[in-house]
Amino acid sequence: MCYNDCDGHKVHQCPLNTMLIMATLAFPKSSHQSGLHYFRRNPHPKKEDHCDCGVRSICLAFDLPYNKVWKAATKVKRQWAGYYYDQWGRKKKSQVTATSSLSKGELIRTLWELNIHDWEYTPLSCTTFNAKHLPDHCIAAQADHWVCVKDGAIWDSWDSRGARPKRLEGYFSRCA
């Protein structure tokens, strides 16, 4: 059973007569030049941090398990990499993994592999990495780095906002 309380929040009546209030978080304005807060989150099972920013950003944007996203991204990277020839001239299937960074094409194909079809890439030029240039929920492309942006904050294993303004190359977000 659902109803709204006196403050307009949606309240769910649970079978055991307990109440759950659904509320939206609102943070105070950030003092950082980007206008974004920073939340340290590392979805990697061993908390490692090694060029897997595309995988981390998908995990954090969609609350998906790291291993599921890593396997999907590795499958996509191997499909793109195709084959190579070893030192004896034998044709071998690529063994590349998602431990290395994802390109824009690999990231969108990883989203498709995870059955996330309603997100698209918006390219930007001459734009700084700033809250006013980003939607509330997206995966932003900085120079050689992907970062999850949710609710006015970046969610990542390190603070990529920088001391000086950084360039924003574009972002993935839900289709309009």
105 within 8 A of 148, measured Cβ to Cβ? no
* Residue 89 maps to a domain: yes
Domain count, the chain: 1
6 occurs within a structural domain: no
Give a yes or no: residue 135 inside a domain: yes
CA–CA distance, 18 with 24 (Å, rounded to integer):
20
Q: Are 120 and 173 in contact (CB under 8 A)?
A: yes
In a domain, residue 8? The reply is no
Domain assignment present for residue 5? The answer is no
Q: Is residue 115 part of a domain?
A: yes
The answer to whether position 57 is within a domain reads yes
Chain Cα centroid distance, residue 112: 14
Burial class (CB in 10 A: 0-12, 13-18, 19+), 128: middle
pLDDT per residue over 93-137, tens digit each? 667 777 778 889 999 999 999 999 999 999 998 788 888 888 999
pLDDT at 73: 93
pTM of the prediction?
Answer: 0.74
Q: Specify if 77 maps to a domain.
A: yes
The region of weakest confidence among 4-8, 132-136, 150-154, 163-167 is 4-8
Domain interval for residue 50: 33-174
